[in-house]
Amino acid sequence: MTQSIHDSVTITGVHKKFGDFVAIHHASLTVRRGEVHAVIGENGAGKSTLMNILYGMFPPNAGQINVEGKDVSFNGPSEAIEAGIGMVHQHFKLVPSLSVAENIIIGSEPLTRQGLVDSKKAEVEAEALGRRFGLELDPRAIVSDLPVGLQQRVEILKALYRDARILILDEPTAVLTPQETRELFVTMRAFAESGRSIIFITHKLREVLAVADRISVMRQGRLLQTLDNQNVTAQQLASMMVGREVLLKVKKGKANAGETALEVLHLRANGQQGHAVLEDLSFSVRHGEIVALAGVQGNGQDEVVECIAGLRRAASGEIRIGGLKVGANPEANRNAGLAYIPADRGGLGLSLECAIWENMAVGHIDQFGSGPWFSPKAARDVCSRLISEFDIRGADPDKLAKALSGGNQQKVQLARELKRNAHLIIAEQPSQGVDIGSIESIHRTLVAMRDAGKAVFVVSADLDEVFSLSDRILVIYRGQIVADLNTYDTDLETVGRFMGGIESRTGQHMAEGHSHAH
């Protein structure tokens, strides 16, 4: 491939293997100066791997990389940074106990004449940089005190401080409200117009269409093609990513809500640092409806679910599952009729080092065998049945759970939990790290559960999922439910405003009738 002066990055025939697994198949990609270039693909398609190679995190097995006219081969991120590449990782690489300024300068610290870290200069420069790019921040603030949206600014400023001319953003909008996302897009466009290049990694198609100049599609480690962002639709992109026609929205009828299945009253709870995270939070979920809890990550969603699942002790308040008062005892809560599908599949949900049949048997071991004896055969038989019932691809009872893709691991959790015949189902980030094909079937399963009269409570950071799945949307902001909306009467914009705390009022379903003046 020939390099023109308009190109800032040219990747030619890059190939990467991890053991026997080919993560990248001879991918080629050109990023022009001054463009926002989206790289899209499903989880595991190789987007992040390709970018990590560009950022020098690991070397490719074959292929060339050319940055601003020079052939490069990086031994580690420091050399990539030197060449003008900056990366904002999906999982922030920040030091929580240090200040904003300190985080920005790590690795290229300004020094005084005596060779000490010049914290004064660091603060002044961090502040000036923020002002210049419209990303204002208090340089002395401690990073762990900042909300995630601002932590992301620190990451971006960190790259800019190193004079990044090519900025890689890995799933940057996952932690933002729609309004914050729009602000980020304005910043991204401004960078591009100043002659920098932005590589925007995402799987959210709506966002790609809104901000990108060109779009490269990856599937199973291959870079399929690069398109101009003209006359393309989300549906076309989705089909290209998955390799077949997909339904972006699950089909479902009207909800037929009945009795209350879950009731949370005046719940208060503390977070990891011992500070109050949930403040007087009340809501309920009825049989036959899907209620989604929307909110920016870190506003108390995790704690609400942990309290309901019995994994966290509430400071005060009451939780009732099927009318039964429950406390901090996971077993009792499950016996009261709870099925819980946690977001942390590898930690809370499954034991990845155990076989699939073992994972499926956990929680209902009593059903297999009699007395003190356990019958692995019975457990394996049930497992085989569930594998076909839930269409878990590539599964076999004796395979280890870690051999499955994220989507199929999710189906294992789902199968195990739904088999319990519980009347309340809590699904936390059901489509996180799950391929589009599996999202479709997981959503269908949850809707089927609703139609079978079960109460479904979904916690999701993905507003597309919230809207496609739910009948009712609760918005959580700083540990309080600030909105209770009927999905069919509201829109993305409104929910986004509540998520960002811009608007707050109580809806018609709130347990309490008070309303907040805005």
Partner 1 sequence: MDSDLFYSAIRISTPLIFAAMGGLLTFKAGMLNIALDGFMILAAFAAVVTAYWTGSLTLAILMAMVCAVALAGLLALFNLRFKADIFIAGIAVTFLAYGLTALLLKGMLDEDGVFASTKIPKFPAIDIPGLSHIPWIGPALNGHTLLVYLSYLTVPVVAWVLYKTRWGLRVRVVGEAEDAARAAGISTGLIKVQTMLLSGAFCGLAGAYLSLGYVSLFANKMTNDRGLIALAAIFFAKGKPFPTALVALLFGLATALSVRLPEVTGIAPQLLQLIPYVVTIIALVFVGIRNFRAQKRQGAWRFDIS
43: which 2 tokens? 């989880």
269 touching partner 1, by CB under 8 A: yes
Segment near partner 1 (CB under 8 A); pick from 58-66, 100-108, 205-213, 442-450 = 100-108
Which among 457, 448, 414, 415 is positioned nearest to 261, based on CA atoms?
457
Using CA atoms, how far apart are residues 283 and 262, in angstroms rounded to an integer?
Answer: 8
150 touching partner 1, by CB under 8 A: no
Separation in Å, CA 246 to CA 36, 46, 99, 236, 440: 26, 20, 45, 9, 8
270 touching partner 1, by CB under 8 A: yes
249 touching partner 1, by CB under 8 A: no
123 touching partner 1, by CB under 8 A: no
For tokens 């090519």, the residue is 166
Using CA atoms, how far apart are residues 365 and 360, in angstroms rounded to an integer?
Answer: 9
Q: Name every residue whose Cβ is closer than 8 Å to that of residue 305 and which is 6 or more positions away in sequence.
A: 340, 342, 426, 428, 459
Helix (H) or strand (E) holding 450: helix 436-451
Site for partner 1 in 456-515 (CB under 8 A): none
> DSSP letter at 347?
I
87 touching partner 1, by CB under 8 A: yes
Using CA atoms, how far apart are residues 512 and 1, in angstroms rounded to an integer?
Answer: 65
158 touching partner 1, by CB under 8 A: yes
Candidate residues 129, 291, 314, 350; the one interacting with partner 1 per rule CB under 8 A: 314
Beta-bridge partners for 455: 424
Segment near partner 1 (CB under 8 A); pick from 109-117, 207-215, 228-236, 381-389 = 109-117
271 touching partner 1, by CB under 8 A: yes
59: which 2 tokens? 């070397």
Rg (CA), the chain: 24
358 touching partner 1, by CB under 8 A: no
315 touching partner 1, by CB under 8 A: yes
Segment near partner 1 (CB under 8 A); pick from 12-20, 78-86, 239-247, 385-393 = 78-86
345 touching partner 1, by CB under 8 A: no
Q: Which is nearer to partner 1, 108 or 235 (CB)?
A: 108
Candidate residues 1, 62, 111, 452; the one interacting with partner 1 per rule CB under 8 A: 111
**What is the nearest approach in angstroms of partner 1 to the Cβ of residue 508?**
32
52: which 2 tokens? 């990590």
Beta-bridge partners for 476: 481
272 touching partner 1, by CB under 8 A: yes
**What is the nearest approach in angstroms of partner 1 to the Cβ of residue 259?**
30
Segment near partner 1 (CB under 8 A); pick from 94-102, 128-136, 194-202, 401-409 = 94-102
**What is the nearest approach in angstroms of partner 1 to the Cβ of residue 341?**
16
101 touching partner 1, by CB under 8 A: no
User: Concatenated DSSP letters for 238-277?
Assistant: HHHHHTS---SS---------SEEEEEEEEEEE-TTSSEE
Q: Is 235 helix (H, G, I), strand (E, B) or coil?
A: helix
81 touching partner 1, by CB under 8 A: yes
Candidate residues 97, 233, 236, 370; the one interacting with partner 1 per rule CB under 8 A: 97
Beta-bridge partners for 485: 473
**What is the nearest approach in angstroms of partner 1 to the Cβ of residue 307?**
9
Segment near partner 1 (CB under 8 A); pick from 217-225, 247-255, 310-318, 359-367 = 310-318
Candidate residues 22, 106, 234, 250; the one interacting with partner 1 per rule CB under 8 A: 106
Sheet holding 70-72, edge to edge: 70-72, 62-67, 7-18, 21-32, 222-228, 214-219, 36-40, 197-202, 166-170, 85-88
252 touching partner 1, by CB under 8 A: no
Site for partner 1 in 29-68 (CB under 8 A): 57
Candidate residues 306, 428, 465, 484; the one interacting with partner 1 per rule CB under 8 A: 306
For tokens 């100049």, the residue is 213
Candidate residues 32, 58, 66, 98; the one interacting with partner 1 per rule CB under 8 A: 98
Which among 55, 50, 52 is positioned nearest to 67, based on CA atoms?
55
Using CA atoms, how far apart are residues 206 and 173, in angstroms rounded to an integer?
Answer: 12
**What is the nearest approach in angstroms of partner 1 to the Cβ of residue 57?**
8
- 444, 249 Cβ separation under 8 angstroms: no
102 touching partner 1, by CB under 8 A: yes
- 474, 283 Cβ separation under 8 angstroms: yes
- Please report, as ranges, the residues that interact with partner 1 according to CB under 8 A: 57, 76-79, 81, 87, 89, 91-98, 102-103, 106-109, 111, 115-117, 158, 269-274, 306, 311-315, 328, 330, 346-348
